[in-house]
Structure 1
Amino acid sequence: MKKNLFYYMLAVLCTVTLFTSCSDDNGGDTPNPVNPLVGTYGLADYTTEDFAVTEGENPIKNFPISGPLYAEWEANDAFTVVASGMFRMMGAALLPQVLNTVELKEDGNIIASYVDKPTLKGTDQLMNWAMGGMLMQTFPKESEITSLAAVSGFTTSPEGLATWSESNGKLLVKLNIANILGAALGGQDASGLEEIINQVLMSEPSVLKEMLKSLFQIDLTNVSDATIKQLQGWALNGIPMNKKEEAGKVYLYLDKSAFDSMMTLRETGELDDWGKPVMKNDLIYVWDALVAANLIPEEAKTASALLQLISGYWSKTETFNIGLDLIKK
């Protein structure tokens, strides 16, 4: 059940990052025109090419150039350029196995075509592919990644899982947590939980941590209150996303400011085998808590080492954008 819930939530999270709206009142009697973003979207194609990160060096074979996952990472270091490609490769391997299309409806609702309880393929190779690109300068061929995509077995999501709106130049994704829980539990009516959920989301971080630990065995004791409050704000008010339109594509993404609280490393009070302070951030603490609660599939648990490696570059990061690369049908 826990593993199925993880995959269901993955489908929902992939879906809800696609919501946008420009439905402000025009102040007159003429009806607002239909937002040009209303329509049905598919994930962008995965493309690769041999690419030299540093001038004069041998190119990386099959370097991921574009795909369903939009990723840009700049920290004046070749590692982050290669890591951006790794993110795009991993997104291209996983997202098309979960999500097919998303319709942005004029009334603000979302209708998604997705795979219910997918059996993810290629996960046993994913870390090897990632490390091969990072260390051996060879990513898998396009066909190895695109062959993993689901081609049938899609189901349609119900309305009311999320809404979309625009505020202060940001595209807000507002989740209806009660409806999401109800859908994940087999379509049960969870509307009676809305008041309780809102009370929980407005509680002090220490209260929320204790509740998660008692009810779900998710221990977030070491996660900072700042990160908890940020996530509470997203759940209550919407996830603020950036939008960029370019060459017929629409990119919806979060930027560096959205991750600073979660990614900044701090000392744990422990020493490693070489006598140096152990450093962790909230992302690693959350991941470890989900692994301990058996909410991360076995094949994904080895990603913790990769998270630690990536976190070490955050202090030098200038640009970090990650989201979805979409094409309107």
Structure 2
Amino acid sequence: MSTVAESYLVGLIGDGITASLTPPMHEREGREQGLHYLYRPVDVAALGYTGEEAQREAPRLLEYGRRLGFNAFNVTHPFKQTIMAHLDEVDEDARNLGAVNTVVFSDGRSVGHNTDFSGYITGLRATLPEADLAAVVQLGVGGAGSAVAYALLRAGAAELVLIDLDTDRAAARAGDLQAQFPGQRVTSRSHGELQDALAGATGFAHCTPVGMHLHPGMPVAAEWLRPGMWVSDVVYLPVDTELVVTARARGCDVVDGGTMAVGQAVDAFRLVTGRPADADRMRRHFLEMVAAQQTDSGLRGPAGTVEAAPSTGEGAGWGALRLPARRAGARTAADIHQLS
């Protein structure tokens, strides 16, 4: 039987997150470890808050949670940046990223962390421990892409090229990261230079919505992917995006989007409980839930604590530039509805 010391009350604050897969991932792992672990979504949309009102209420909800005895909250879109001003402390990585996705209450203080970037590193190292980080190209620098870029540099990438439809944003992000990592090289290039950039890359990190159910297809031409290079995706429903399937077929080492989704949950679980999570067990559970959602074409939802798309409103631009999906009859991301 669990004692009070072994009981945890956790929440997820976000907009449109009632169907997130993060709460059941945490709860299952808690049960497996013999803990009384209750994790509930706190959806501002379901509470009737929108826009500026939602931004005002999110920190209040966080404070109510602290007073009611919550141990921690995960925080997702659109509050990862704005919630920082309302915390007692923010760790160095979250401060450098300018985003918090996990808030832990300790000794009456609220401490902000970011497990989006650490989850990516955890997954990359576990899946491809020998990944060559000499020259990495990243497509997409909004939302999850910002965390991935920081993660790649924290993991030791010698050279990182950022490419985005918004060239000014890519340049600004590259400048910020270059200042934080002066011993490494961070540059930006235009979307039209993607093929040239990939020609000399040892790895490719894909961080746009292309591959999701609303944006099927390939973000790059298949022939731009070479045997021996590694490829990672942030889209995780479907886990086997067209990029993932094509990259494997062309002899690339692959890290699918589920790896980052599980990795951030693994790291958040450790922050909340002080206990290591079983990453393999959490991934098996995650894949079970994904498979269940794939059979229900009526279910749709936004991303959970890891944003599969750069941010709200960017999908249309990326969708307009995506390469066509495979021939009729072939399985594509359009067959799957993203729910997380």
Normalising by structure 1, what TM-score?
0.29
Normalising by structure 2, what TM-score?
0.28
Give the number of the structure whose residues are more often strand, by fraction.
Answer: 1
Computing the radius of gyration from Cα coordinates, the structure with the larger value is: 1
